[in-house]
Structure 1
Amino acid sequence: MATILDIALVQSEIFWHNPENNRRHFASLIDGIDKKVDLIVLPETFTTGFTMTPSEIDPSEGNRTLTWMKEVAREKRAAIAGSIPFFEGGKYTNRLLFVEPDGKSHHYDKRHTFTLAGEHRSYARGESKVLIEYCGFRICPMICYDLRFPVWTRNTEDYDLLFFVANWPKPRIDAWDTLLKARAIENMAYCIGVNRVGTDDNGYEYVGHSACYDPLGHRVAFSDRDEVLYVKLDKSRIKEVRDQLRFLDDRDEFILQ
């Protein structure tokens, strides 16, 4: 029997600095998902927008959102993932939360903070990759700017799915499209990107381009509209490609400093 992962990619506008409204907004979009899915993916900083002043948000909002995600995951019987500003240990991180239907949670803190916007001054960077075993898939979650760094995202762990949540603006959207495809090809894995749409309070415009690429880099899903995009991943496709084209056997060995 084939191992299948059905995913809903939620591409939407985000209310600036308003976690309560955003939770209510995304709850409404998720309620509208009328088919069985295993995983729901939301954009980067989906409760606030891509803010460089996370201290203006109540520090308790991170745990409020985690509680909300657990409720959604339980009710929809699907995992849910997305990143938020998270305050812990006296510092903020841009933290991706991945919550399973049984309440089990995982987190990944963004490694590459976006220095062009000053993210490194507002958020501590993460130090570790995270691998999540879920529904028969090995999943590697990443956040936005990580997409530009192929050494960090290199498939040394034989993961099946690499996904990125993002607030990736319109002026550099060609890079987003190109790098998502490249990460799929070089890692011989499914690669998914979930972006936002609309304009934030800093005047940056976002045009979506949430997409999924298969292990050969073929685009199997794409959207530039405010919508929920559905993708179906077949693990047998990964095995087929890797058995036929054994490129990962020739991976370079390296140690990250």
Structure 2
Amino acid sequence: MEQDEKLRISLVQYEIAWENKQKNLDYIQKTISALSGKTDIIVLPEMCTTGFSMNSHNLAEPNDGNTITSIKQWSKQYNVALCGSYIAEDNGNYYNRGFFITPTDEHYYDKRHLFRMGSEPQYFSAGNEKVIFTYKGFNICLLICYDLRFPVWARNVDNGYDLLIYVANWPASRAKVWNALLTARALENMSYVCGVNRIGTDGNHLNHEGGSKLINAKGDEISAIGLNQEQVETVCISKAELEHFRAKFPVWKDADRFEIM
């Protein structure tokens, strides 16, 4: 019998200090240090060092800037993968850029669906490439916040990924949507889904209550952080359990294939 691959995932729900990179980086480092040896992946919210700011011109950094340089250093130092998003500058354009940094590799995803109600398209460029990568035997797809509303973009074709991660700054006023769609993405894609959201009031006076959670392919919450709590919760997921369910109930074989033009 093949060995069951397990993955420990830490959901980090906290109040992001508005546009204060150093304060947020200090918090992140402290959190990573406390989790050393206890987890495989640490998932942070969207724009984890600034909050959901449209001040891209002043806050953006290249991939070799302080934010990603620090993340890469901590990943190696503490032997853990780090995931979140930050405000990136690349060839004169600004991106809400997701990162998944491991001690030996790095992966980036530029948010495709920009939140027009928050004026995001005026200050950022949209990405056009879905990224799937492998870490410790799991195929992983990283998406960002508003992407959650668009199921075709998240479509899991032939079980291409095992874990779908959403990092977010999702307001409390739309918590019902957050909860419903995270579960829907898990069910329709027969995948683990991890959603990590911030708490607190941001610089735009929007309140966030968190609701970070990890859901299995059957739609069961196997980890959930309480509302408005700054908390870290670590959960272990099983590749064998997922593959057993996919084999026993192979809905994915009858799924429609969609093509984005």
Mark yes or no: TM-score above 0.5: yes
Runs (4+) off by over 4 Å: none
Assess if the C-alpha contact under 8 Å between 1:62 and 1:86 holds in 2.
no
Partner of 1:192: 194
Q: How many Å separate the matches in 2 of 1:23 and 1:197?
A: 17
How many residue pairs get matched?
Answer: 256
Asked if 1:40 is matched to 2:42, the reply is yes
Partner of 1:7: 9
Asked if 1:177 is matched to 2:187, the reply is no
Shift of 1:254: 2.3
Q: How many Å separate the matches in 1 of 2:224 and 2:255?
A: 29
Q: How many Å separate the matches in 1 of 2:60 and 2:132?
A: 30
Between the aligned residues of both structures, percent identity stands at 39
Rate the CA distance shift 1:107–1:61 in 2: closer, same or farther, 3 A: closer
Partner of 1:86: 88
Shift of 1:64: 1.1
- Matched AA of 2:98: L
Shift of 1:251: 1.0
CA offset digits 1:180-237 (Å, max 9, x no partner): 0010000000001000011111111111100011011011110121111111110011
Between stretches 59-68 and 76-85, larger displacement belongs to 59-68
Partner of 1:100: 102
Partner of 2:141: 140
- Matched AA of 1:121: Q
Determine helix, strand or coil for the equivalent of 2:46. Answer: coil
Shift of 1:252: 0.7
CA offset digits 1:87-141 (Å, max 9, x no partner): 1110100000111112x21100000000110101111000000001110000000
Determine helix, strand or coil for the equivalent of 1:236. Answer: helix
CA offset digits 1:153-205 (Å, max 9, x no partner): 01015210001000001000111011000100000000010000111111111
Rate the CA distance shift 1:62–1:164 in 2: closer, same or farther, 3 A: farther
Assess if the C-alpha contact under 8 Å between 1:108 and 1:130 holds in 2.
yes
Partner of 2:68: 66
Partner of 1:254: 258
Q: How many Å separate the matches in 1 of 2:63 and 2:207?
A: 25
TM-score (norm 2): 0.95
Partner of 1:124: 125
Assess if the C-alpha contact under 8 Å between 1:80 and 1:100 holds in 2.
yes
- Matched AA of 2:136: C
Assess if the C-alpha contact under 8 Å between 1:166 and 1:196 holds in 2.
yes
Rate the CA distance shift 1:46–1:185 in 2: closer, same or farther, 3 A: same
Assess if the C-alpha contact under 8 Å between 2:194 and 2:214 holds in 1.
yes
Shift of 1:60: 5.3
Partner of 1:229: 233
User: Where does the alignment leave 5 or more consecutive residues of structure 1 unmatched?
Assistant: none
Partner of 1:152: 153
Partner of 2:168: 166
Assess if the C-alpha contact under 8 Å between 2:60 and 2:87 holds in 1.
no
Asked if 1:245 is matched to 2:245, the reply is no
Assess if the C-alpha contact under 8 Å between 1:143 and 1:164 holds in 2.
yes
Measured on the aligned residues, the alpha-carbon RMSD in Å equals 1.3
Partner of 1:57: 59
- Matched AA of 1:45: M
Q: How many Å separate the matches in 2 of 1:145 and 1:42?
A: 16
Q: How many Å separate the matches in 2 of 1:209 and 1:221?
A: 10
Partner of 1:115: 116
- Matched AA of 1:182: A
Between stretches 149-158 and 88-97, larger displacement belongs to 149-158
TM-score (norm 1): 0.96
- Matched AA of 1:140: C
